[in-house]
Amino acid sequence: MYETPLTIIGHVVTDPIRRRVGEHELIKFRVASNSRKRGADGNWETGNSLFMTVTCWDRLVTGVGASLSKGLPVIVVGNVFTSEYDDKDGNRRSSVELRATAVGPNLARCAARVEKIIAAGPDSPVAARAGEADSPDHGNTESGGDDTDADADADADAAAKADADDGMALTA
């Protein structure tokens, strides 16, 4: 299958909607990307706009669901495809959509706190502040703060677990 990569920089214009499709979860939202340029008089002029439906699957569902809402500036990377469907009157329709592979805040337009997603169970991700799970002396039992061999092993295990789960939730 041929895939066309695309990056969109814009704003979320609908609240993300989460639903189940078969055995998988999906989040959909729309993004608007607006061009602007300075006119001859020095004032900003609005140019063309692109509105795109974005679909997020698998691990991306958790981070997007916890982080995005209408109005936030985002950068979305994914592959463009044409979705075909029948409308309520039975007419065949199509729309261009973007299946996201990465979604994040546009840090040129907002500030965000990054939280790592740590699996607490087979299907129950829990967000923890970045650095908590893999900080030095995590699980350290002595009062002096120096690592013993057991504490160093615990730190290494915690860091390995954090590195193994590379999911991130971005909150703006």
Question: Quick one: DSSP state of residue 41?
Answer: T
State which of 108, 138, 163 marks the end of a domain.
Answer: 108
The alpha carbon torsion through 16, 65, 34, 113 (nearest 10 deg) reads 150
Distance CA 69, CA 101 (A): 18
79 and 135 both lie in a single domain? no
Q: Could you tell me if 103 and 27 lie in one domain?
A: yes
The tokens 């008089």 sit on which residue?
Answer: 41
Confirm whether pTM is higher than 0.85. Answer: no
On whether both 140 and 119 belong to a single domain, the answer is: yes
Cα–Cα distance between 118 and 107 in angstroms, integer? Answer: 24
> How many CA within 13 A on the CB side of residue 158?
19
Residues 20 and 92 in one domain: yes
Which of 64-68, 74-78, 108-112, 130-134 is the most confident on average? 74-78
148 lies in the same domain as 161: yes
pLDDT-derived band at 30 (thresholds 50, 70, 90) equals very high
* pLDDT tens per residue, range 59-75: 899 999 999 999 999 99
Residue 135 scores a pLDDT above 70: no
Q: Band of the pLDDT at 108, cuts 50, 70, 90?
A: confident
Single-letter amino acid, residue 49:
S
CA 10/CA 14 separation, integer angstroms: 12
Residue that is last in its domain, among 88, 108, 128: 108
131 and 143 in a single domain? The answer is yes
Q: 86 is in which domain, residue-wise?
A: 1-108
Please tell me the total count of domains within the chain: 2
My answer on whether 45 and 72 are in the same domain is yes
Residue 85 and residue 126 in one domain: no
- Answer yes or no: do 92 and 33 share one domain: yes
